[in-house]
Amino acid sequence: MSNQALFESTIRHVAVLKAASDEEVQLIARMGIQRSIEDGAFFFMQGDPAEYLYIMLTGRAKLCQIAPDGQQVNLRTLNPKQLFGAVGAVDPQATYPACAQALEDSSAIAICSAEFRKLLEEHPHLSFGLMKLMTGYISEMQNRYREMATEKVEQRIARVLLRLAGQTGKRVEEGVLIELSFSRQDLAEMAGTTLFTVSRVLSAWEKQKLIATGRERVMLTNPHAVMRLAEGLDEK
């Protein structure tokens, strides 16, 4: 498949652009260039000028923030067909508010923010898709913020597992399997805690047969119980 065709077929399935006509899809595809990066490399760093926006083609990446002191927080994972890094299309002077780091060898369509902005001006109905994405983010971040502020570690870890299960979990005989390169450290960054605490909590749950763990691997053998934990029911 030619690059152009590959781009088009991917773009056609991007949620944000579902209102795009065939013609618009073609236009966007022509604006794109492919960028492939290795596991651990960055599509962009927090604070860089937001010159490109991206649409994930293959692989996975994480959006994360790095505090001045080096501590990291994981905001979300980026999967194929997801659009990310679009701030530049809205404000030409914007810088990325987070960094995007590949969790495995990955590739994405890179589109020049300024060009995309022009496209938005000429095809304004596309803005609605983008705005919907943004309001969704806002709403999600507000919820996560509340969770971080009011819930305790166990609940937050349970939520992380459920979110991952929903995004990339595979249903197998014994439960739902999350098998990706997520170390305890990564889980800790998603839950806002330390790898030690994550390890301890998962061990405890394993003893209670709620989950089964392995190296960079978690299986939810009793997803329903994990959901109850996330909701903070079981309050002892």
Partner DNA sequence: CGCCTTCTTTGCGCTTGCGCAAAGAAGGCG
Partner DNA sequence: CGCCTTCTTTGCGCAAGCGCAAAGAAGGCG
The reply on whether position 47 binds a second copy by CB under 8 A is: no
> Per residue, what are the HEC states of 158-170?
HHHHHHHHHHHCE
Binding-site partner at residue 1 among DNA, a second copy, none, CB < 5 to 8 Å by type: none
With CA atoms as reference, report the closest residue to 130 among 108, 145, 111, 107. Answer: 111
**Nearest residue (CB) to DNA, 2 versus 150:** 150
With CA atoms as reference, report the closest residue to 234 among 214, 212, 208. Answer: 208
Looking up tokens 């190296």, which residue turns up?
215
Quick one: how many helices (H) and strands (E) in the chain? Answer: 9, 12
The reply on whether position 67 binds a second copy by CB under 8 A is: yes
Question: How far apart are the C-alpha atoms of 114 and 2, rounded to whole Å?
Answer: 25
**Nearest residue (CB) to a second copy, 87 versus 226:** 87
From 37-45, 66-74, 159-167, 170-178, span contacting a second copy (CB under 8 A) = 66-74
The reply on whether position 75 binds a second copy by CB under 8 A is: yes
Q: List binders of a second copy among 86-145 (CB under 8 A).
A: 87, 90-91, 94, 97-98, 121, 124-125, 127-128, 130-132, 134-135, 137-139, 141-145
For residue 40, count other CB atoms closer than 10 A to its CB: 10
User: Which chain residues interact with a second copy by CB under 8 A?
Assistant: 65, 67-69, 71, 73, 75, 87, 90-91, 94, 97-98, 121, 124-125, 127-128, 130-132, 134-135, 137-139, 141-146, 148-151, 192, 231-232
